[in-house]
Every structure is written in C-alpha cells, then in structure tokens.
C-alpha cells in the first residue's frame, strides 16, 4: 500500500458507521430544527454527512511530516545542527535501525448547520509507525532525503474515551528516495546560560 497521509492508514475504516457513533454527541433536535428536517432520521443523515466531510480534512496529515518531525527531535541528529557538520558542504548519511514513532493529535470537529453550531466533537488520533531501517541524507543541518525500507502503521481514533476506529496496516510503501526539497531543518540543541 502506497502511503502519503494519515487517510491512507485509515483507508479500510468505515467512516460512515464511525460518523453514526459520533452522532450521539450532537444535538439531534437542534440539528433537525435548523436543517428543517422532517425527522430525527434525516438529521442523523445530515450529521453523518458533516462528520464524514470533516474526517477528510482530519486525516489529511502527511506521514512524512510526522516522521521528520520525530526525527528532528532525536538527540543523535543534533550533531548535524551544530559545528563542523553544520558548516560542511558534504552530504552525510544517517542510518536509523528499527524504531518506533508515536504521534498523538486531539483536534475538535465543530458541526454547523448554516451558521449555528450544533456540536463540538473532540477526537483523539493515536498513530504508531513501526519503522524498519531508514536512511537520512543530511546537509548543512537539513534533512534533504529519506529512504524507508519498511513501515507498518497502527492507528486508533477515539472520542470521549470511546474507540471509533482502529486500524493496523500491512506494509506501507514509500517510493525509493523521497526528496524533501530544500530540506527540513534539524533544530540546534537548546542551550541555557545562567549569568
């Protein structure tokens, strides 16, 4: 499976039924009234539709951004953000053996009918990436290229403590060497001076 975004991790999930689970958190009567729905059932369909549309935006998170964000925080990479390696025009190869990246997001979906808010739905997204050998190409304190030999993702979406969707992917595919344009900066380590 080729992977680009969080949506690829959850591609097997049935978000229509997930939207129905989240539906219980919305004010059905107010939704029906605002949408001039004939019945609560029509209001449910409307809420299903709103949550499903919100899900598209919710999962439009780049997996590469999640990975690079985690790697730039690694202490072992800090040496590439300072001193000789930062100033060198040489491209360095940094090899990561098997490792795990954990990411958590807690966005809120606001449901509106016309201009009236009918619900706030807090969603918790937990993602674990089980990474095989990964090679980073680094130059002047920036990650320029990534080559991933294997990755599996485990994702879970919950709301108010209730699990909505859980997915475990087969092997995710990343095409050869992934170039990161001008590169992603590795922030220098924090320094504290006491005067």
- The 3-state secondary structure of 124-158, one letter per residue: EEEEEEEECCEEEEEECCEEEEEEECCEEEEEEEE
**Domain parsing of the chain, residue ranges:** 6-182
CA distance 52 to 10: 13
The pLDDT score that the predictor gives to residue 98 is 92
Q: Print pLDDT tens along the chain (195 aa).
A: 556 888 878 776 665 555 555 555 555 555 555 555 555 566 566 666 666 666 677 788 888 889 988 988 888 888 888 777 777 788 999 999 999 999 998 888 777 767 777 777 788 899 999 999 999 999 988 999 999 988 999 999 888 888 888 888 888 888 788 899 999 988 877 666 676
- The answer to whether the predicted template modeling score (pTM) of the entire model surpasses 0.85 is no
The separation between CA 121 and the C-alpha centre of its own chain, rounded to angstroms, equals 18
């Amino acid at each position: 499976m080729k992977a680009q975004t969080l949506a690829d991790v959850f591609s097997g999930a049935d978000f229509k039924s997930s939207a129905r689970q989240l539906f219980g958190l919305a004010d059905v009567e107010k939704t029906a009234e605002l949408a001039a729905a004939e019945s609560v059932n029509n209001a449910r369909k409307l809420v299903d539709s709103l949550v499903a549309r919100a899900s598209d935006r919710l999962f439009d998170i780049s997996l590469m951004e999640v990975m690079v964000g985690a790697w730039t925080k690694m202490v072992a990479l800090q040496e590439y953000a300072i001193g000789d390696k930062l100033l060198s025009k040489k491209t360095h190869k940094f090899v990561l053996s098997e490792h795990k990246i954990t990411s958590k997001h807690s966005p809120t979906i606001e449901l509106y009918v016309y201009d009236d808010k009918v619900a706030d739905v807090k969603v918790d997204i937990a993602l674990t990436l089980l990474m095989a050998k990964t090679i980073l190409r680094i130059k002047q304190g920036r990650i320029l290229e990534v080559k991933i030999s294997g990755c599996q993702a485990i994702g879970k979406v919950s709301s108010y403590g209730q699990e909505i969707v859980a997915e475990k992917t087969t092997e995710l595919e990343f095409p050869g060497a992934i170039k990161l344009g001008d590169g992603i900066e590795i922030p220098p380590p924090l320094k504290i001076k006491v005067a």
